[in-house]
């Protein structure tokens, strides 16, 4: 993306409000999705990132959020396929033993 989006507010450190939570966030490879992933990570959540094509961006996000001492699972898949949601939940529970659902 040009220009590259600002995705982190370095003045915010988080308070651990999501410690022990495993969250699935889609489209976290750049822009708003990456900002959401960083915010969740700063609050202590382990993440599963589901992305479509941008492997480089997804890996960059993973590396960035892991500096906050959280785990990050990447899943490259197309969410237009209904089985992708099931796959994301199953792989998240397999890796972390838990999953947080919020509406």
pLDDT value, residue 1:
65
* Average pLDDT over the chain, rounded to an integer: 89
Model pTM above 0.85: yes
In percent, the amount of the chain with pLDDT more than 70 equals: 91
In contact, 96 and 89? CB cutoff 8 Å:
no
Model confidence at 100: pLDDT above 60:
yes
All domains of the chain in start order, with CATH: 22-96 (3.40.50.720)
Helices and strands (DSSP H and E) totals, the chain: 3, 3
The H or E element containing residue 72 is strand 72-76
């Amino acid at each position: 993306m040009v220009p590259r989006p600002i995705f982190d507010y370095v003045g915010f450190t988080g308070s651990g409000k999501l410690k022990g939570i495993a969250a699935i966030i889609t489209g976290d490879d750049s822009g708003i999705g990456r900002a959401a992933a960083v915010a969740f990570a700063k609050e202590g959540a382990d993440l599963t990132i589901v992305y479509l094509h941008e492997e480089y961006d997804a890996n960059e996000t993973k590396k960035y959020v892991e500096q906050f001492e959280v785990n990050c699972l990447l899943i490259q898949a197309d969410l237009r396929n209904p089985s992708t949601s099931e796959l994301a939940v199953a792989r998240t529970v397999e890796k972390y033993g838990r999953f947080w659902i919020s509406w």
